[in-house]
Amino acid sequence: MAFWDQLKAKAFEMNGQLKTKTAQFQNKEFANASMAMCALIAAADGTIDPSERQKTAGLITSNEALSVFPSDELSQKFDWYCSKLQSDFEFGKIEATATIAKLKTKQDQARAVIQIGIVIGGADGNFDQNERNVVREACFAVGIAPAEFEL
């Protein structure tokens, strides 16, 4: 149980840091990468059931760090990535990861997107192995060592 308490505390701390960072990163590339990450988290096990999609969409719209962006635009982009992942998971995963990889030269933004993945993945108190793997792959895509995030 202590592990989950630590995870929740870390996610809360990251969320506070993220709000400050995302206010600095108000650009389309960052917003797209954030929604690609959220869709990958929702589809981490290879499928997205409607309740999982709805739950993740709710987390996106209620997340303070993402409140600097219009929620309708975030929702549309999240749905777009989810649709890609649902129609062809492997191709959708490549496309979402490529969107995240565009931040490779913007390491502060890349780290913030990784943190968003961790916060969204751990929001239910269960940052499972599939979600960890998705975030780890995103770390590799942007050239950040997963160990930096204890992955």
Q: What residue segments make up the domains of the chain, in order of their start? A: 2-8+29-62+69-149
pLDDT in tens, 106-144: 988 899 899 889 888 887 777 889 999 999 999 999 999
pLDDT, greater one: 56 or 136: 136
3-state helix vs strand vs coil in the chain, percent to 5: 80, 0, 20
Tell me the C-alpha distance between 34 and 125, whole Å.
20
The model scores a pTM over 0.85: no
- The whole-chain average pLDDT of the chain stands at 83
Name which CATH class applies to 2-8+29-62+69-149. Answer: mainly alpha
- For the stretch 5-37, pLDDT in tens is 554 555 555 555 555 555 566 778 989 999 999
- Which pLDDT does position 3 carry in this prediction? 47
